Amino acid sequence: MLTLATRSVRQRPGRFAATLLSAFLGAAIIMTFNSMHDTAGAPGVDSVSSETLSTAAGVVGGYGTLLVFFAVASTLTVNVRQRSAEIELLRCSGATPAQLKRMVVGEAVAVALVGALLAIGPAMLGGRVLLDVFQDSGQVAESVDHTFGPIALYSGLDITVLAAAGAAFLAVRRATGGRPRSRSRGRRFLVLGSLVLGALSICTTFVLSSTDAALMAPPAYGAILLSVGLALLSPGLLRALLGRLPLTGPSGYPAVRGLRVRVAELPGVMVPLTLFIGMATATLSMQGVENDAIHAAGVPKSVDAKNLETLNLTVVGIIVVFSCVMLINSLYAATTYRRKEFGQQRLAGATPGQVLGMVGIESLVLTVTGVVLGTGAALAGIVSFTTVRTDAVLPERGLGIWLGVVAVAVAVTMGTSLVTAWRVLRTPAISAVAPAA
- Which tens digit of pLDDT belongs to each residue from 215-228? 888 898 899 889 98
Average pLDDT over residues 239-256: 78
Q: pLDDT grade, residue 403 (50/70/90)?
A: very high
pLDDT tens string 162-213: 888 887 887 777 666 555 555 566 667 878 888 999 999 999 999 988 888 7
**Interhelix angle 2-11/97-118, nearest 10 degrees:** 50
Q: pLDDT grade, residue 119 (50/70/90)?
A: very high
Instruction: Determine how many CB atoms are found less than 10 A away from the CB of residue 65.
Output: 18
Residue 254 scores a pLDDT above 80: yes
pLDDT tens string 35-81: 989 999 888 888 888 888 887 787 766 666 666 676 677 677 767 76
Cβ contacts of 53 within 8 Å, gap of 6 or more = 36, 37, 39, 40, 45, 131, 134, 140, 144
Average pLDDT over residues 96-107: 81
- Range from 105-119, 170-184, 264-278 carrying the lowest mean pLDDT: 170-184
Contact 381, 219 (CB under 8 A): yes
Residue 336 scores a pLDDT above 60: yes
- Three state DSSP letters for the chain: CHHHHHHHHHHCHHHHHHHHHHHHHHHHHHHHHHHHHHHHCCCCCCHHHHHHHHHHHHHHHHHHHHHHHHHHHHHHHHHHHHCHHHHHHHHHCCCCHHHHHHHHHHHHHHHHHHHHHHCHHHHHHHHHHHHHHHHHCCCCCCCCCCCCCHHHHHHHHHHHHHHHHHHHHHHHHHHCCCCHHHHHHHHHHHHHHHHHHHHHHHHHHHHCCCCCCCCCHHHHHHHHHHHHHHHHHHHHHHHHHHCCCCCCHHHHHHHHHHHHHCHHHCHHHHHHHHHHHHHHHHHHHHHHHHHHHHHHHCCCCCHHHHHHHHHHHHHHHHHHHHHHHHHHHHHHHHHHHCHHHHHHHHHCCCCHHHHHHHHHHHHHHHHHHHHHHHHHHHHHHHHHHHHHHCCCCCCCCHHHHHHHHHHHHHHHHHHHHHHHHHHHHCCCHHHHHCCCC
- Residue 407's pLDDT is what? 94
Residue 265 scores a pLDDT above 50: yes
> How many Å apart are CA 376 and CA 226, to the nearest integer?
9
Average pLDDT over residues 381-398: 89
Average pLDDT over residues 362-383: 93
- Residue 2's pLDDT is what? 46
- Residue 436's pLDDT is what? 55
Residue 231 scores a pLDDT above 80: yes
pLDDT tens string 1-48: 545 445 554 445 456 677 788 788 888 888 988 898 999 988 888 888
Percent of the residues in the chain that have a pLDDT greater than 70, as a whole number: 86
* Average pLDDT of the chain to the nearest whole number: 82
> How many Å apart are CA 305 and CA 4, to the nearest integer?
54
> How many Å apart are CA 266 and CA 240, to the nearest integer?
14
> How many Å apart are CA 220 and CA 218, to the nearest integer?
5
- Residue 3's pLDDT is what? 52
- Residue 217's pLDDT is what? 82
Residue 313 scores a pLDDT above 80: no
Q: pLDDT grade, residue 82 (50/70/90)?
A: low
> How many Å apart are CA 34 and CA 252, to the nearest integer?
48
